[in-house]
Amino acid sequence: MEGMLEDAVKSIISCLSEDERFIIQYHVMSNQPITLEMLAEKLCMSRDETRLLVIAARDKMRELLIGMIEPGQPIPDRSKFVTVFKPGNA
């Protein structure tokens, strides 16, 4: 199951834009996420624009993941992704 999850995450990550991948990698799925302020500075955006992009990236990833899951299968929780997705694995 974990190998399938890792493959699914890699597949989903490849569908995201560069900014979305950065957000997912360092803010959403990191064991030590960077702050929204640091993220905004790195992306050269306002904090509010960055917050909206974070929401959009999470939603996009969720939709892509749900689309990959067969009906009746449970949706994995966030903790599984944190262990699978590590910087440099994208």
Q: What is the pLDDT of residue 50?
A: 93
The whole-angstrom separation of Cα 28 and Cα 25 is: 6
Q: What is the pLDDT of residue 36?
A: 92
- Please list, in sequence order, all residues whose beta carbon lies within 8 angstroms of the beta carbon of residue 68, skipping any fewer than 6 positions away: 8, 11, 12
CA Rg value for the chain: 13
Phi, psi of 84 (to 5 degrees): -85, -45
The range of the structural domain enclosing residue 21 comes to: 2-69
Q: What is the pLDDT of residue 70?
A: 62
If one counts the domains in the chain, the total is 1
CATH code for the domain in which residue 22 is found: 1.10.10
In a domain, 36, yes or no: yes
In a domain, 75, yes or no: no
Question: What confidence tens digit (pLDDT) does each residue in 17-28 have?
Answer: 999 999 988 988
pTM (2 d.p.)? 0.67
Q: Read off the pLDDT band of 83 (50, 70, 90).
A: very low
In a domain, 53, yes or no: yes
In a domain, 51, yes or no: yes
Res 40 pLDDT > 90: yes
